[in-house]
Structure 1
Amino acid sequence: MGFSSEVGIDLGTANVLVYIKGKGVVLNEPSVVAINQDNNEILAVGEQARQMLGRTPANIVAVRPLRDGVISDYDVTERMLKYFIKKTCGNSRFFRPRIMVCVPSGVTEVEKRAVREAATQAGGKDVYLMEEPIAAAIGAGLDISKPDGVLVIDIGGGTTDIAVISLGGIVASSSVKIAGDKFDEYIVKYMRKVHKLYIGERTAEELKMTIGTAYQREEPLSMECRGRDLVSGLPKSIEVSSAEMMEALEEPLQTIAEAVHSVLERTPPELAADISNSGIVITGGGALLYGIDKRIQDRTGIEVRIAEDPKSCVAIGTGEALDSIEFMETNQLNRKRSNF
């Protein structure tokens, strides 16, 4: 058998992470592509393209080809994947890696096929798909092969995946289209409504990362925020507090807490007992929002911890799962058979 590297890809709405066996996470860049509309040429991918969001001349568009965890622009996704695979694996015609790509737990067969085809077109030899919560659990260092229940909440850019996992499979799960991107949208809405200030996505993200909060802070923070005054139409800057951020994010956080609650309600009693002992693990970029663990702990009464490197968990889990493809496949088959 020829040389075949193994690559795990976390194809996220906000970021794409690439994990290469033996090297770890080798790439973590925003899922943004800048295209020149005149000749359909790709000008920049990843971080360079993100810098252009909301700042491009008329003939250049910076697009995010994934929305809510699924492919919304197939052609651009394929070109973006090709670029990232070439960047991390080199550019040899004969070199086709085995690729394991992550998808949210609620995606349809059509969406799965789109991901599989995009990865194959981008240069994958064998392409496998894996559900995000399972990858997140493996990446967070949990042993999912045992008959003990673990509850993982993966808060990404487009979706929040909540799943109870036992014996390598998902027992009860929920996927809500509320995550990092929606947090930004709610911050934009709040600033318009309360301060009559129009801000862009990047400014909202900066507010979220700097002073965003899901639980009362002991010491309130504040930050200067610049945007356009909706009344005068001129640039304006105001001071925003972390308490206001908590108010802005109240609704999406409430939705996530409700979804966790509903998954726990559907969990078999034996596994629910395991979870109340082992606790809940949060992964994904959203885990970095201040106090989100305390917020969910308050709601469920179960101890919540944040995984060690929450942003990379899915990518690491995806890469590590390539070692146990046989185990994963038997599980998938058994699950399909039990569905008939």
Structure 2
Amino acid sequence: MPSKIQPLVTSQFTERSPLVALGALGLLGMALLISPLFHRQLLSAGVYVGPEETVQLDPVQPREGAIGALRIDAVAQLPSNAWSVFEVQVLDSQGNVLASAIKQAWNESGTWQEEGESGVWQEQDQAGRFDIRQAAIDGPVVVAISVLEQGSSTGQPLDSPVVYRVTVAEGVIDTRFLWSGAIGVLLVAALTAIAVKAAGQTVINEQINDSDLVGRGTLGGPSKLVRVIITVKSDETSPPKLTANLAINDSYGESVYRREVVIPLSMEQEEGKVESASGSATVDLVLEPRGSYGFSVEITPDGPVDHTFLTVKEGIRTFTPTEITHIQLSTEPA
């Protein structure tokens, strides 16, 4: 039966989802790089606030339509072995609370002695931070600091005011979410890549302790990419490469396609001496129409060949446009 044979490069079987995921990862990377460009500091000030007092800072005017969030950082500057519970509020021009957060700050220190050595230790947690969506702000805002409680770890009262340093910045992009998104996208890319590698159904899987091998199966069709995988294991007398003579026959046993495939070999050495060799080659095809096809492989030279494996899969997906051979059998008699 005559057939039409056409080598071509096609993207018909290309799976783009891993590339789309990698593209999204690239966009996230760009966002990480350019995020500092949108950052602008609006206020940096220190204020003294005593117990049960509230102090308002100067109003700030965020830009309309700015990208990112309004970030408020408040750091207590407590003396040693002191603690404070303070609240940070963001108020609009009418005094309404847009957002608030409560922080329990502490600063502890002391001395240690061990085996004749001594030193000073210090532990602290005095900084608080929260973000407000900048799109929710349409005018000037005021930051207010209120000290709800304060004291010392020794039980002594702490009545003197404490300095609180407040910083307000706009256009802040929380890179924690960008990193989380990047990790998620990377996982999606990895999973889709694994799925592409695992795609396809094995139709023929034959092996023989010789150089000649045949197999037959029902496969093909215009929407199925067929991959022929030829694997060879040979002895220490192997040349750098072998040749596989691939032949495909139709359901009547008539020749459809023949091709010589070069198989480069990888030499396996032990103590500098070649012990064996192995190699594989693949051929991608589209066979039309779907039907029963026979595949035969003959390896030359055949002297060094110990084992030959023939695997034929269909439904293969690829990462990039693929070089294939399109074989279309004629329905007309020869």
TM-score for both structures, normalised by structure 1: 0.19
Structure with max Cα Rg? 2
Q: Which has the higher helix share?
A: 1
**Structure showing greater relative contact order (alpha-carbon pairs closer than 8 Å, 6 or more residues apart):** 2
Q: Which has the higher strand share?
A: 2
